[in-house]
Structure formats: C-alpha cells, structure tokens
Structure 1
C-alpha cells in the first residue's frame, strides 16, 4: 500500500524511472533528462505519516524550503519531512521544477538544441531565439509561473527579464542562468529593462525620481518585495543598480 502511494506521487510529478528500494526508501529519476534523483519513504505512524523525501541535486537543495528530516539515505545529500500527502506532492513538484531551472540544466538543454547551428546571421538569430525561449521556460519553472512581486500569474502578461542584459552577458552560461533573471509582469519588466526601476538586496522595488505620479501609481506594489532572492540574484541586481545609476 505504502509503496504504491509513493510510486503514484513520484509518477504524477514526472519521476517515472524507478531505481529500486532499500531500507524503506523508494528511488526515482526523471526519464526526460532532468537531472537529479529523489527517494521517498513513509514513517511508521498508523495514519501513514509523516512522509519523507530525499534529494541528491545540490542546486535544488540550495533553493528548496522544507523541514529537515535528519540524515538522508546513501549518497543523497538532504532529506525532508512532510506532515501530509498533499505537502509531499507539493514538494516533489517543486523539486522537479527547480531541477529544470537551476544551473546547469537550461544551459545544457540549450547547447543540445543548438548544436547543429552554424554561424550565419540567420543561425545566430535562431540561436538567440532558442536561448531566450529556454530562459523563459526556466524562469517560469523557478518562479512557479507567477510574478514574485505583483502576483500576476497570466502567462501572457509575464516577461522573462534579464538582470544583466543578454547582449552584455559574457557567456551563454550567464545568459541562461535563472539567477540572472526575474519573471515580471509586463509593466514591471518594461520599467526594469529600461532602467527606470530596479530592486535592492531585499527585493524591494526602486524607482527613478524622474517618473511622474501616474507612472509611480501604475508601478506601485504596496510595499511588497521579491522574497527568497539568492546571493547570485543580489550580485546581478547590484550590477543592474550600478549600470542604471541607482
């Protein structure tokens, strides 16, 4: 019973490659090339809880937020506990989307997609378009398809905003790094991309004094800020503030 519940949870969120069972843990991998594996287990309580998940991907672990659950099994690096089945499902889903977005999966996928392209002008344009599409997909995964400042979740109103612009990045790794990007509502992206807005190290919106009351009113986010910025985000935002004179 317990193994079928864990298998169903893993399968539902894309982890359909089974890696066996050991010491009460079931092991799974993604079959679509998404890096990292997970291990799932259920505690001894009569109601089948708590639920446990272990992760081996260091990039995901650095971003993942859940209650620690003591030593992980085998080669896995971290284990987490969940009070309910729903929380476990949310955790697996988050791990899957983080694994598709944190370095270096977007870059690896981009290089595989463009390996056949040469260096003509048309091919350079196509390579950039594919890179920007891959970057947008990674940001949607990372920010859970929602602007972290305004809360806008309509994908047609969301923009993949580079912090250090694409043309000024010194490598494809920088261009495809989710920590060099924010998923912003279109009006916030326009202000950010043009240098009329930026963010401090705590994710609070900064606006240029040259903006008038109408523009400030449009961009007003009522004291909200972007939570959970990483040090890599902050380093890039520091560059953005200096570049645009904040």
Structure 2
C-alpha cells in the first residue's frame, strides 16, 4: 500500500482513508467530483465522477503507479424500490456501476504494479433491508457480491479484493440518524490493517456481524422487527 487512490476523498470515510494512508507514508490520490474540496496537505487532488467513463479513464491514466484502490464513493437517496425510479437508478449507477467502472479501469494498473489490492466499501445493508432503505440496500448487496466475483476474476493477477461492512459511522452521511456510530478513524485503521493481513472481508461492528449471521437463519425471525409480527 505505497500508492493509493481513494474515491469520495473530500469527506466522510474517504477523507479518513486518505489521511490515514498519508500518515502511513503512502502517496495518495484523493479523488472527488470537486477536487478543490480536498483539504489534506500532501494529497494529490483528482477530479473524478465515477459515473463518467471519460473521467474514470483519465484518473487511471493519471494515477498509473497505484497499488491500492479504495472504492469509497457512494450515495444514499433513501428511495424505496417502488418510489422514484430515477433515484433507484442513481444509487445503482454510483454504488454498483461506478464502482465496477473504477475496478475495470484500474485492474490493468494494479496488474502492472504487482497486483495490489482493492477495497470496496459496502455496508451491513448488503445483507438486509429496512423500510426506506430499498435502493441503497440493493445497490450494496450488488456491491458485496461484485467483490466476491472480482476476487475470483482478479486472483490470477494477484489482486486482493476486500469488502468492508458496517452499520453507521460518525460521518456526514449518518448525520441526523439515531443509533450507535463507529468512529471513522477506527473503521479506516481496521480496514487497512485487514488489507495488510490479507483479509477478504472486514465486518466492522457487532450489528453487522449479527446481520451476517442471521443469513443462515429463517428470515421470518429477523424481519419480524420490521413487519410487526
């Protein structure tokens, strides 16, 4: 992890990833739609909208020395699947298609630099849904299984793919949402340590671990809390 590119690096977990990697001595390309919003000394700002194929290609050409790609950029509109279809598509465009576009562009870069690693920031909502989370949950479920598939497809070039799952982190995205929130500094440090250790999945908090464990059980028990049964 000597040279990294982080998407959505201007705030939230992305900014913490960039700051921690800089502290660990890495060269950091900090990507955001508005590169002027990058305020980390030492980071190299990159203009990037991951839903824009030309911008993604330009980023891969610029950051040709990357050995770590952190796919952190994501959106949450709160759209239900039976609500605003444009909002549903927007979440899939960023959280799935945009992330996949980044991997497709940077896979050759990583291969040329010895294989490296990819971190895909997913969610506990990869494994369940609750009222009001439909589009986000579906997009993160797709993100999670994308990591599983890419792990197999990229194994031959020596690229490690690590998926990160958490409930809430104390960032702008979770502002106004009640519930326990993980310290983003801890999330980032645990993730980077896990990548260095060769771990393929990071389950950050007890809530995420409980949700994942529930997949082996009858879903009626888990969803009773939402269905009022």
Report the TM-score when normalising by structure 1: 0.29
TM-score normalized with structure 2 length: 0.31
Instruction: Please say which structure displays the higher CA radius of gyration.
Output: 1
Where is the helix percentage greater, Structure 1 or Structure 2?
2
The structure carrying a bigger strand percent of its residues is 1
